Amino acid sequence: MLQLYENTGKMALGSRLKQLSEMLAEQAARVYELYEVSLDPKWFPVFYMLKSGSCLPISVIAEAIGHSHASVSKIAKEMTAAGILKSEKLEGDARVNQVCLTDKGRSLLPFFDRQTGDMEAVVEELLVQCQHNIWEAISEVEYLLQERDLFSRVRDKYAERDRENIELIEYKAEHATSFRDLNYEWINKHFEVEESDAAMLEDPEKTILATGGYIVIANYKGSVVGACALIRHDADRVELAKMAVDDSAKGKGIGYLLGQHCVDKARELNYRQVFLESNTKLIPAISLYKKLGFKRIKGEPSPYARCNIQMLLTFP
């Protein structure tokens, strides 16, 4: 289809915009699901007109959004069937019906406002990247959305907002059970628990903290969902270890936050190097470590049977 537009040129602007519109509408539907807003995207103009809490006649809404009276009436009926709108007579003129949001509809407003705020920011960012006139900009927008679709861009904005719910705190004795269970769950999911694991996880205060190490805990909305440790080896070198994130919190960037926090802590404590041991089958983990600046090395034999890769980060 894109080859057709190249051949036909600007005469196909309407068709091309329609195709772009359909692509955006499809991705927008996924955005509504992400923010838990149970609206059909085509209801957006009507819902937006009524979000202030006022009741409006169909004719007023139709004129404001540039739709036909019949089109708005159809949308209003669908929204009424979904329990989002209600209809009532206009005060002073019983011949005129007007619509307004129900309690269910108003309950969507906080989610709707967050969604539209993030969506507006993403669209602004998208347009800032465009450097040409509208026709060339359409091509650029299509390319950019093929390279990274609208949903992914909004999802990042969602994750950025969601990070406000993530808190990193220093380990306390009350975290012992969570630290142990998170790590046991992760190890058993991928490998088998070894003696060295048990020694550290059953008594982290003695095996990690008492020897000069450090443990950080990740809270998400008040619940412990992740942990990571620094294990001191000597005055210059510390090991990044025992990183685990609960499955319920995957995809929120918590692993990276934990890793970056520990790297920063090692630098703060004046260590020259941070090393780690892992397994090459853990592709997401290896990618995370590379993102943090670790590089593969050939180190000393590992005490863990599961480890087949060692990585090192040296501070300048």
Task: Give 4-28 pLDDT, tens digit per residue.
Answer: 767 777 667 678 788 888 888 889 8
76/130: higher pLDDT:
76
Return d(Cα 129, Cα 139) in angstroms, integer: 12
- pTM as predicted: 0.63
- Token duo for residue 268: 């703060």
124 pLDDT tier (thresholds 50, 70, 90): confident
Which residues have a Cβ under 8 Å from the Cβ of 279 and sit 6 or more positions away? 190, 191, 306, 307, 308, 309
Same CATH fold assignment for domains 2-162 and 171-314: no
Return d(Cα 73, Cα 51) in angstroms, integer: 18
pLDDT at 1: 58
CATH class entry, domain 171-314: alpha beta
Q: Give 217-262 pLDDT, tens digit per residue.
A: 999 999 999 999 999 999 999 999 999 999 999 989 999 999 999 9
Q: Give 206-227 pLDDT, tens digit per residue.
A: 999 999 999 999 999 999 999 9
- DSSP class of residue 3 equals H
User: Strand 309-314 relative to strand 273-278: parallel, antiparallel, unpaired?
Assistant: antiparallel
* Residue 276: strand pairing partners: 311
Mean pLDDT value of segment 282-292: 97
SS3 217: strand
SS3 97: strand
Mean pLDDT value of segment 37-55: 92
Q: Count the helix, strand and coil residues of the chain and give each as a percent rounded to the nearest 5.
A: 55, 20, 25
pLDDT at 211: 95
pLDDT at 5: 63
- Select the CATH number that applies to the domain covering 2-162 from these four: 1.10.10.10, 1.25.40.10, 3.40.50.300, 1.20.1070.10: 1.10.10.10
* Residue 312: strand pairing partners: 275, 295
305 pLDDT tier (thresholds 50, 70, 90): very high
Could you state, in order of their start, the residue ranges of all structural domains in the chain? 2-162, 171-314
